[in-house]
Structure 1
Amino acid sequence: MNEKQFDKVKNGKGFIAALDQSGGSTPKALAAYGILEDTYANEDEMFTLVHDMRTRIITSPAFDAKHILGAILFEQTMDREIEGLYTADYLAEKKGIVPFLKIDKGLAEEANGVQLMKPITDLDKLLQRANERNIFGTKMRSVIKEANEKGIRDVVDQQFEVGKQIIAAGLIPIIEPEVDINSADKKACEELLKHEIQKHLDQLQDNENVMLKLTIPTEANLYKELIDHPRVVRVVALSGGYSKDDANEKLKENEGLIASFSRALSQELNANQTDDEFNNALEKAVKSIYEASI
């Protein structure tokens, strides 16, 4: 465990940038960036283009440690280089930003109003590689759509079960049970979710720490007890489909909750922008999300 990075993530001012679009969401991310599917012939070309996009974001002067605590990477991004360094090393050494890794393999089919994670069959090997690449922590996502007690319990049980494997490998897990912002039962989902998370947090040992990544709650400060829990390093919020402005406004209502935005961070960026246009757009987004987070 890198104690300097731990202190930055726990006590620093700023937010976590989510740069972890994976196979399924990459075409959508590229399209939003101005690169349409007919411009690449196969998956290899697609992933090269998205790495170029992420490289442009990470190397921008607007992407700095003054505003950004950490960045979540996709597995392929971890194994690629920026200016001769593996991406995590570039983030840590050149930018002073803490690297995280998305480890889930996507979502299972919906059952009991939720989507669990698909099995992570190579988890031990992946965590070993993450340690070799100097990754600090991991992230894994499930989705909750209905206020179904069994479904929500299953989501949280699965998240913490995998989370304990991650802790045993010396990494900090970001547990992400996303509540769909379009759920008709969003508030009820969040109350059930908080209860289940709290049960698991109370069962952790003194040397077992987690982060939480949650949808911004309908009721402001609903998650304050989770934020203050001694086993929680930090609670971060996903933008969940809200626009940057909406996500920022909702975030400001929640004391101690900081952003971990993906689409809201990059929505004004375009492949055809000049470097000045790109850097200015990114700087504006970074500063607005930072202000909402502090």
Structure 2
Amino acid sequence: MSADLVPNDLWERIAQLLPARPVRRRRHPGQLPVSDRVALAGIVYVLRKGVAWRDVPAQIVGCSGVTAWRRLRDWTEAGIWRRLHEVLLTELRVNGGLDMDDCAVDGSHVRALKRGDHVGPSPVDRARPGSKHHAIVDRFSTPFAVSLTGGNRHDVTQLIPLLDAIPRIRGLRGRPRSRPKRLFADRGYDFDKYRRLLWKRGIKPQIARRGRAHGSGLGRTRWVVERTFAWLHQFKRLRTRYERRADLHQGLLELAASIICFRRLRRSFRNDQ
């Protein structure tokens, strides 16, 4: 089951990033700890199936949901998922699987069933508690950065933080790339202040204007971010927010973005053969 949830080539990349486990005592060592790969399989199982942590089938996955949750907590606090995402983006750039010139940005509402950080009244769900996923992607729908905010936060407030969250992607000769040349967005980002901020960063804003008739043509480029949200929400644990701790939900969001990059990387390998 672990190999099905965590393929060998994905595990090889993650294993290099995990912190070293403490040395066990030789005398009276106690119960052997669950291996990191099995615990990661438990995390991916919850991410994909959307089950509660207490409902993880230990006889199938190989560990309890409590053990998987604790590893998620420890690895999230250690920043493992963000580093994994950066590694996969670098590999994609080496293989020509990234387009660093044209990017699109948007947000998506999800309902939050528990209180906690980054939860607010959702304006699209009768003010029920909710959160927002924000993403900036390339024209292949590859997520460069993802973030979590309260459901009442305006999309445009996360524009600059998302740009700042894009890692310095290496892989080709020259300076690492960390910003696009053009950024596509819908009318929710139509603020002259943010257009000026984009121009200062050397990014050409391609943002639809409010009050103008539809048919600007930007939708032909901007739709890729909607596809990314469709891919992210195929992970059932992300469709509704259950985690009270915002950092743990953010960690699952980053892990899902990394898995999307990994799938794109596998596809590029198949196309090269």
Query: So what's the TM-score if we normalise by structure 1?
Result: 0.30
**Which protein is bigger by CA-based radius of gyration?**
2
Query: So what's the TM-score if we normalise by structure 2?
Result: 0.31
Which structure carries more relative contact order (alpha carbon 8 Å, separation 6+)? 2
